[in-house]
Structure 1
Amino acid sequence: MGMHLQILRASAEELTNYLSDSNLLTERVLNEAANDTRRYDIDKSWDGIIYLLTGKNSSDTSEPLSRLIFSNQLIDENLNLGTGPAHYLSPEEVKNLQEQIRDIVPSSLKEKFNAQDMKEIGVYPNNVWDEEEVDDYLIEYFETVQEVFTTASKNKEAIITFIE
């Protein structure tokens, strides 16, 4: 099973509503899971993607690009959607991060893949980095993240992330 990262695109109005009443976000997550066309599952790739972008794991938020996954802005610190609270980025923050990642050529990230370093600094999931083609797996999901941020930026949407 493991910890799968979910990314939701949300309108600015929806974000405002979720910040006012986090139960609305819970309802969306629980009731629309199968049919939510603005929800993306990037599997267990999230920490590996952060590593490829920053050279650090997601617990080190000193790099601006680490905010792609965990913004440290919480919808409701008491709301647990799986393994902790949901993080959000405003439409303006989404646009800013999208501008930072839009010109990254996904295949260029392979050069930054270092299984030994990833294991040493505790990049989740620690037991897979020696497997074949795991770098391709990370690149595929990074491309998904790029697409989600591009679409959200174009639509002036917020991004909400949580681990399920």
Structure 2
Amino acid sequence: MSMIGEYARVTPAELDRALGDPAWALELVGGRMETEAAECPQPELARCLDIDKAWDALGFLLRRAAFPVDIVHGEEAVPAADDWGYGPPRYLTPERVRAAAGALAEISGARLTAGVGPEDLAEAEVYPTVVWERGEPLDYVSEHYELLRPFFRAAADKGDGMLMWLG
């Protein structure tokens, strides 16, 4: 079983409700994920997005770039939430989503991965280590990063918050 980085855009009212009723939030997000799995909307139109197994590499690269927002793990825990896969969900407020979108606009995927090779990720034991030990290029990571940029921009433009978890 793989650990997949998952995101869901939520309105401020939905975020408030999710913080008080995480079971409701899981149902909301599950319904949206099911609908979007059939529709496959572009990131700027999507309410949900997954970055597959690129999450840990993105976290490593973003920390290296001193990125101002934790867009991989979120910054706050959803109180009293059950496990949504590999732990409970976390979230970003609309203000932090705006900050993240602004920072994402400043860094391209190519710039994020510049000067870093698979050997660096393997040495840092970045998940999934077997991929980096094989010497796979970081194109996979930069492609998923490039999906996050319009996803966060759309969320910021609409004033949305963000739920995130490893599923």
Range class of TM-score, shorter chain: 0.7 to 0.9
Partner SS, residue 67 of structure 1: coil
Q: TM-score, normalised by structure 2?
A: 0.85
Q: TM-score, normalised by structure 1?
A: 0.86
| Cα deviations by residue, 1:30-51 (Å, 9 ceiling, x for unpaired) | 3333214411111000111122
- Within the candidate set 145, 150, 163, 1:160 is matched to 163
Cα displacement (A) at 1:149: 0.8
Mapping of residues 1-164 of structure 1, within 5 Å: 1-36=1-36, 37-55=46-64, 63-65=66-68, 67-131=70-134, 134-164=137-167
Given that 1:9 and 1:38 are in contact with CA atoms closer than 8 Å, whether structure 2 keeps it comes out as: yes
| Cα deviations by residue, 1:110-141 (Å, 9 ceiling, x for unpaired) | 31323222122221111101446531111110
Closer, same or farther: CA 66–117 of 1 in aligned 2, 3 Å: farther
Closer, same or farther: CA 86–112 of 1 in aligned 2, 3 Å: farther
Q: Which moved more, 1:83-92 or 1:24-33?
A: 24-33
Given that 2:69 and 2:99 are in contact with CA atoms closer than 8 Å, whether structure 1 keeps it comes out as: no
Give the distance between the partners of 1:30 and 1:105, measured in 2 at CA: 30
Give the distance between the partners of 1:38 and 1:144, measured in 2 at CA: 13
Give the distance between the partners of 2:104 and 2:32, measured in 1 at CA: 29
Give the distance between the partners of 2:75 and 2:93, measured in 1 at CA: 12
Q: Which runs of 5+ in 1 are unaligned?
A: 57-62
Q: Which runs of 5+ in 2 are unaligned?
A: 37-45
Give the distance between the partners of 1:161 and 1:46, measured in 2 at CA: 11
Given that 1:50 and 1:65 are in contact with CA atoms closer than 8 Å, whether structure 2 keeps it comes out as: no
- Select the structure that is richer in helix: 2
Paired letter, 1:94: V
Cα displacement (A) at 1:151: 0.6
Given that 2:60 and 2:126 are in contact with CA atoms closer than 8 Å, whether structure 1 keeps it comes out as: yes
| Cα deviations by residue, 1:94-117 (Å, 9 ceiling, x for unpaired) | 101111121212222231323222
Closer, same or farther: CA 116–132 of 1 in aligned 2, 3 Å: closer
